[in-house]
Structure 1
Amino acid sequence: MTEQDPRKDPDDWATGEEPATGPQLSYLETLARESGEEVPENLTKAEASRLIDELRKRSPRTD
């Protein structure tokens, strides 16, 4: 029996095209500041999730 990954791809989210949430944006601002990046405006939930994953890989906090 294999264990399946419960996480869905953000492209498959029913609400992925809705605007990013406050908590997503707050976390993105923190990660962006630590990584020397800028957070684009008007992100969707799916875009914010992908950017969070990308910036977490570069953040000194999550090394």
Structure 2
Amino acid sequence: MSDQNPDNAAIKDPDEWVTGDEPSTAAQRSYLETLAREAGEEAPAELTKADAAKLIEELQAKTGRGR
């Protein structure tokens, strides 16, 4: 394993989530709306949990939020 950082040990790729194909949560949708607004974009209406997580990561990078 090349990444031995214990902080990343629990982070799973959203594509590997067991519940990744379920609808996004209310918290994900709310945060996506905030991030999208800050990025000057529109949040998609319907996403899976996994797709929402990936878009959150993308918009965090774009807006400077998050990690």
Pair in the same fold by TM > 0.5: yes
Query: Aligning the two structures, in what range does the TM-score lie when normalised by the shorter sequence?
Result: 0.7 to 0.9
- Alignment match, 1:30: 34
- Shift of the 3–48 alpha-carbon distance from structure 1 to 2, 3 Å rule, reads same
Give structure 1 stretches of 5+ with no counterpart.
none
TM-score, structure 2 as length reference: 0.82
The percent of aligned pairs where both chains have the same amino acid is 54
Give structure 2 stretches of 5+ with no counterpart.
none
The alignment status of 1:15 with 2:19, answered yes or no, reads: yes
The alignment status of 1:41 with 2:45, answered yes or no, reads: yes
The number of residue pairs the alignment matches comes to: 61
**What do you get for the CA RMSD once the two structures are aligned?**
1.6
Amino acid across the alignment from 1:37? E
Amino acid across the alignment from 1:33? R
Amino acid across the alignment from 2:35? L
